[in-house]
Amino acid sequence: MLTTTQYDADRERHAIETLREHRVEGLILTVADADTHPLLDELDRAGLLYVLMHNDTVRRLSVSVDNRLAAYDGVRILTLAGSLAASDRARQRYLGYAQAMQQAGLQPAPALEVDFNAKELPPAVLAHLTSGPNRPTALFCSNDLLAMVVMCGLRRARLQIP
């Protein structure tokens, strides 16, 4: 039997109670919050066998990925800036980016420096932004003109951007 609850506690309770009424031998569950879910405590007391799926918890038997590590591995934020040597604003913005990354527990990447006055991205820069397994998942551009050049280049490369 399969049911879905959209992480609604009342629907979760109803689904689990319905399955228990059908005298199932065990359950495979994904709940909103496995560490604080009162119904799981009831299942523990009743001795009903269950395993959690996709709930990363140490309190109960679960099969899951390390969600924090997966997000950490998947987030590659890159700063695109003009010459850091030529602009105090670009340097300060890069330092702010680096500080935010460090506070989030992420390693800041070196700034990718491009010509402030470029009308379009150099092919090597565009290739770096659009291909390969380590391409950035987000960009922080140090000014609005660079952001527009980047957006135009990414759209020409047929990438969807917000």
Burial status of residue 16 (CB atoms within 10 A of its CB: 0-12, 13-18, 19 or more): buried
Contact 132, 78 (CB under 8 A): no
User: How is residue 151 annotated by DSSP?
Assistant: H
Instruction: Give the model's pLDDT for residue 63.
Output: 93
**How is 19-69 classified by DSSP, letter by letter?**
HHHTT-SEEEE--S-TTT-HHHHHHHHHT-EEEEES---SSS-EE---HHH
Domain 73-156 has CATH 3.40.50.2300: yes
Does residue 51 surpass a pLDDT of 80? yes
Instruction: Give the model's pLDDT for residue 6.
Output: 82
Does residue 74 surpass a pLDDT of 80? no
As a whole number of angstroms, the distance between CA 158 and CA 71 comes to 25
As a whole number of angstroms, the distance between CA 136 and CA 76 comes to 5
Contact 25, 33 (CB under 8 A): no
Rounded to 5°, the CA angle 78-81-86 comes to 145
132 against 63, higher pLDDT = 63
- Strand 112-113, strand 138-141: pairing: unpaired
Does residue 113 surpass a pLDDT of 80? yes
- The 10s digit of each residue's pLDDT in 114-161 is 988 889 999 999 999 999 888 898 999 988 899 999 999 999 999 988
Instruction: Enter the tokens of residue 83.
Output: 């010459």
Question: Could you state, in order of their start, the residue ranges of all structural domains in the chain?
Answer: 9-64, 73-156
pLDDT band of 78, cuts 50, 70, 90: very high
